[in-house]
Amino acid sequence: MAVGQIKPSSAELLRLYADMRLIREVEQRLSLLFGDGEIPGFIHLSIGQEAVAVGVAGALRTDDTLASNHRGHGHAIAKGLDLSRFFLEIMGRSEGYCGGRGGSMHVADMSVGMLGANGIVGAGLPIAVGSALAHQLRKTGAIACVFFGDGALAEGVLHESFNMAALWRLPILFVCENNGWSEFSPAARQLATEPSKLAGTFEIPAERVDGNDIVAVRAAALSAIETVRAGGGPRLVECKTTRVRGHFEGDPQKYRDAGEFDEIGRKDPLTRAAGELRAMGVPDGEIATIDEVARRRVDEAVAVARAGTAPAPEAALADVYSPKSSRAPARADAAA
């Protein structure tokens, strides 16, 4: 499918809108829970970037693998993670995806190919390269996908990963979420080039799309995924998007101009998708129902998470090594 050629039906767009709304609802709730002290540690929200997660991760197969990053809640949900286990993990409960050992920066679900969020900028790239190598060798027909921000372009391992993927024509989709901010610094102070130009240096075909336009992102993703899956080698999709919240929750963002936020509001992917739905004749009530369903699902998941149990220290050492390990190194008395 060539980009922009096929406009989705209103039913399809409604579904995409619903997926984005769910992620927005999840993260707005995370923000509240964090503010109320119900979530310890750090969380990094992707509010404003939902179209990238839904447009790309939602276009992957379940057996396609995905390496995410620190701003990965949307990626995880779009890849099909269970909402309750997601909240359980982020709220540090033993029933969570990682037994409360990982938290927001390490949510993972191998059963749907989600290889994990990642606390290290750029670290998901070589992991996705290796995963793509496994797909290629095992002839699974699956592909690997990795999300990274524009900030990761400054990491050396990104260059190594682009090069290796291109040399070996690996089935991998690189997705750059270009929100213009590397933590607290603007791209102008961070990058001497642009993502698509850099990919071009390694002969990786790149497409740049408006990352807040769900229709454009999905079309670009579907086209790139089809090529990658067919053995066409790696592709990059650069999604120009907007980070609404701070680098982390609680970041007062004093480094940003107030005017930037007016512009961000106009670019909001949900507002835009809702506008398109209305233009297609979808009644407001139908959109409001979707919003309500998302709220209810999050309410339910949070209720489940609140009822979860704190992980017991007695079981903490269990997964440092595998059970099939020739011998677990942890000393018996270390657990006492």
Partner 1 sequence: MTEVRFGQAINRALIDAMTQDSSVVLFGEDVAEAGGPFGVTRGLLKKFGGERVRDTPISEAAIVGAAVGAAMTGLRPVVEVMFMDFVTLTMDALVNQAAKARFMFGGQVSVPMVVRMPHGGGINAGPQHSQCLEAWLAHVPGLKVVCPSNVADAYALMRAAIDDDDPVIVIENKALYATKGDLPEPPPPVAIGQARTARTGKDVTIVTYGAMVAVSLAAADILAKEGVDAEVLDLRSLQPWDEAAVLESLARTHRLVVCHEAVEAFGVSAEIVARLADIGFDELDGPLVRVGAPFMPPPFAKSLEDWYRPDAGRIVAAVKRAIA
Question: Where do contacts with partner 1 occur on this chain (CB under 8 A)?
Answer: 65, 67, 96-102, 106, 108-111, 115-116, 118-120, 123, 125-135, 137-138, 144, 156-157, 160-161, 163-164, 167-168, 318-331
Residue-level length of the chain: 336
Q: How far is the CB of 123 from partner 1 (least distance, A)?
A: 6
Report in angstroms how near the CB of residue 158 gets to partner 1 at its nearest: 9
Nearer to partner 1, 205 or 311 (CB): 311
> 227: buried, middle or exposed (CB in 10 Å: 19+, 13-18, 0-12)?
middle
CB of 38 to partner 1, least distance (A): 20
Closest to partner 1 by CB, 47 or 143:
143
Q: How far is the CB of 259 from partner 1 (least distance, A)?
A: 37
Minimum CB–partner distance for residue 104 and partner 1 (Å): 12
Minimum CB distance to partner 1 smaller for 97 or for 174: 97
Q: Which is nearer to partner 1, 26 or 117 (CB)?
A: 117
Taking the least distance from each CB to partner 1, the nearer of 6 and 120 is 120
Residue (164 or 175) nearer to partner 1, CB? 164
Which residue is it, tokens 């979420």?
Answer: 177
CB of 67 to partner 1, least distance (A): 7
- Backbone phi, psi, residue 83, to 5°: -65, -40
For CA atoms 184, 186, 192, 195, give the dihedral sign.
Answer: positive
The distance of closest approach from Cβ of residue 109 to partner 1 in the complex, given in angstroms and rounded to an integer, is 7
Residue 138 or 254: which CB sits closer to partner 1?
Answer: 138
Q: 67 pairs with which residues across the strands?
A: 146
128 versus 274: smaller Cβ distance to partner 1 = 128
CB of 146 to partner 1, least distance (A): 9
